[in-house]
Amino acid sequence: EAQVTQNPRYLITVTGKKLTVTCSQNMNHEYMSWYRQDPGLGLRQIYYSMNVEVTDKGDVPEGYKVSRKEKRNFPLILESPSPNQTSLYFCATEDRAYEQFFGPGTRLTVL
Amino acid sequence: AQSVAQPEDQVNVAEGNPLTVKCTYSVSGNPYLFWYVQYPNRGLQFLLKYITGDNLVKGSYGFEAEFNKSQTSFHLKKPSALVSDSALYFCAVRQNTGGFKTIFGAGTRLFVKA
């Protein structure tokens, strides 16, 4: 089954404690993205990757890092989380027809 | 800079009536336009897209959208709403040159009453 998986699905952490949200896909898509969803703001792109070792900033990259060492994985790293990064996070892949496939989401709370 | 506006936070329609969810955009060059839907507890799903060609595009679940270049709009429509269409709808745009960012609108919540 074609899918995008994210882990963890729920996370409560404290300010400053480094965390990583993993994203993995089995569709062999080159393009992957991270978004955050906040009420009234819709989805905002954090980072995207066109292929292995190729990443670029989206609209809200501050406070986040990504890496793309292999095609199937695109982890999102918060080196020093702050409460304003409390949000619902989605990983997505995109096929050659420009259609995006989203993971189930990770709900992050930073206290 | 790219931007997307969904002017309505919420749209209410009665089941069986036509529905329209509005979207306007701003982008350099020719746009790629998309609609996605977020059902409760089911994540985000692709509905339809405009890349090139016919201005009227058809998508999943009986939805369609019309690309209007002069009005920079891409409104989502359905001739007859179902209660099960109740969800959060997002319009998105991407430039087709010079970058690969995708910009989403703030979303419009659709309520279909039986």
State pLDDT tens for residues B3-39.
999 999 999 999 999 999 999 999 888 889 999 999 9
Contact A59 B103 (CB under 8 A): yes
Question: What share of chain B in percent tops pLDDT 90?
Answer: 80
Q: Provide the chain B residues 59-88 that lie in CB contact (below 8 A) with chain A.
A: none
For residue B97, the model assigns a pLDDT of 63
For the domain made up of B3-113, the CATH class stated in words is: mainly beta
Q: How confident is the model at residue B96 (pLDDT cuts 50, 70, 90)?
A: low
Angstrom distance (rounded) from CA B114 to CA B112 = 7
What confidence tens digit (pLDDT) does each residue in A49-76 have?
999 999 999 999 999 999 999 999 999 9
B50 touching A (Cβ < 8 Å): no
B109 pLDDT higher than 80: yes
Domain spans, chain B: 3-113
Contact B32 A98 (CB under 8 A): yes
Point out the residues of chain A with pLDDT beneath 50.
Answer: none
